[in-house]
Amino acid sequence: VLAQIDVGIEPEGMAVSPDGKWAVNTSETTSMLHWINTETFKIEKNIVVGQRPRHVEFTRDSKIAWASAEIGGTVHIIDVDKLEQVHEMSFKVPGVNQDRVQPVGIELTSDGKYAFVALGPSNHVAVVDAQTYEVLDYLLVGARVWQLDLDKDEKHLYTTNGVSGDVSVIDVEELKVLKSIKVGRYPWGVVVDPSS
């Protein structure tokens, strides 16, 4: 153990920037992102976001971070150089009560074109233009979608649907759900083996 860092109440998610400079913790009850300098192990900034932040995803160049706030129903876009929020997104899934729209997992394509956001008990994945932050579509997947991951060539996106106990497979080019695969009870996260 190199360091132990006091953060907010109920620390949940952790992310490390691709350049290795930042470790970010999400504290659910405090509704904060804690920005930890990986050289000094000190918190350099606390950013207040929506209620119950869960996940942070960095762009490949480490310039932008996307953070989901599950109960707040929002995604927060952070300029990493300035450590400031530059945009806040909310989602309105047609035919779904707003309290069921709960963002958790976020996955970004390497070309900077799309962001995919898992919207929890709304049973949808939001497709977002990663440059303009405009929601392009909502894709219906299994029940309570939590996390997602792209395969190596980014042709397919896989989502874990906790309540329906399956993984949905999405064609990224067509933005279409191809099928769902049963995997057992309450799948939470998925990671695609980069060597396959």
Compute the distance between CA of residue 75 and CA of residue 101 in angstroms, rounded to an integer. 11
Residue 139, strand partner residues:
125
pTM of the model: 0.96
- Percent of the chain exceeding pLDDT 90 equals 98
Compute the distance between CA of residue 149 and CA of residue 112 in angstroms, rounded to an integer. 15
DSSP per-residue codes, 127-140:
EEETTT--EEEEEE
Radius of gyration for the alpha carbons in the chain, expressed in angstroms and rounded: 16
Q: What is the pLDDT of residue 194?
A: 81
Compute the distance between CA of residue 84 and CA of residue 52 in angstroms, rounded to an integer. 19
8 neighbors 30 (Cβ within 8 angstroms): yes
The domain locations on the chain are 91-182
Q: What is the pLDDT of residue 151?
A: 96
155 neighbors 172 (Cβ within 8 angstroms): yes
- Which of the following CATH numbers is that of domain 91-182: 2.60.40.10, 2.30.110.10, 2.40.10.480, 3.40.50.2030? 2.40.10.480
Residue 181, strand partner residues:
167
Within 8 A by CB and 6+ apart from 170, the residues are 116, 125, 139, 141, 156, 157, 158, 159, 176, 177, 178
Which structure tokens are listed for 137? 């579509």
pLDDT band for 196, please (50, 70, 90 cuts). Answer: low
Which structure tokens are listed for 84? 């400031």
Query: Does residue 122 surpass a pLDDT of 80?
Result: yes
* pLDDT tens, position by position, 71-103: 999 999 999 999 999 999 999 999 999 999 999
Half-sphere exposure of 148 (CA within 13 A, CB side): 34
* pLDDT tens, position by position, 153-184: 999 999 999 999 999 999 999 999 999 999 99
* pLDDT tens, position by position, 26-62: 999 999 999 999 999 999 999 999 999 999 999 999 9
